[in-house]
Amino acid sequence: MNKHSGFTLFELIISLALLTFLLGQLVLYMAENRQGIVLNKESIVAHSAANEIIEQLLSVPFEDLADAVYEDGQLADGNPLVSSGSWKFKLANNDGFQRRVEIASVLKNDLVQYKKISVEIAWDSQEKPGQKKNYRMIALYTKETTQK
């Protein structure tokens, strides 16, 4: 009977190989999870930036909201929302994001039924440098009428 107890060299090598494999899988999972968090954060900030612009444009009276295209330089904090009136943009500072807004009237029977507000947000991806990401949000602003 063998009075020596313990692990053989073969058992030790198999255990270390299994441990190395499992730790490698854990590291890969954590790296992928981090990339997902970065992508999710970028998308949330872009969604918030687009929503911020749409909410401000929807606060302008329908008749004052003219068809227009606003490029990033025109969408600065304190710039006018529309050409007439005292409506001004109040925008959060979103460095690295380029914004573009297009407002277009939709006609029915030669009457403006609603305005289509399209907001596009573009940014450089943190996940893949040099790659552009885009987010677009569209809202329809209906002209409210009263029936008599």
Q: Do the domain assignments include residue 39?
A: yes
Let me know if residue 57 belongs to a domain. yes
The residue type at 100: R
Q: Per the confidence metrics, is the pTM higher than 0.85?
A: no
Residue 4 in domain: no
Residue 38 lies in a domain: yes
Predicted pLDDT of residue 103? 94
148 belongs to a structural domain: no
Q: What residue numbers bound the domain in which 69 lies?
A: 9-142
Residue 72 pLDDT > 80, yes or no? yes
Q: Which residue has the higher pLDDT, 16 or 127?
A: 16
Residue 128 domain-assigned (yes or no): yes
Report if residue 1 sits inside a domain: no
Region 86-113 average pLDDT? 86
Higher pLDDT, 25 or 125: 25
Examine residue 2 and state whether it is found in any structural domain, yes or no.
Answer: no
Three-state SS for 95-146 is CCEEEEEEEEEEEECCEEEEEEEEEEEEEECCCCCCCEEEEEEEEEEECCCC
Q: Which of these, 56, 42, 59, lies nearest to 132 by C-alpha position? A: 42
pLDDT over 60 at 38, yes or no: yes
Domains: count for the chain: 1
Q: Which tokens is 71 given?
A: 């490029």
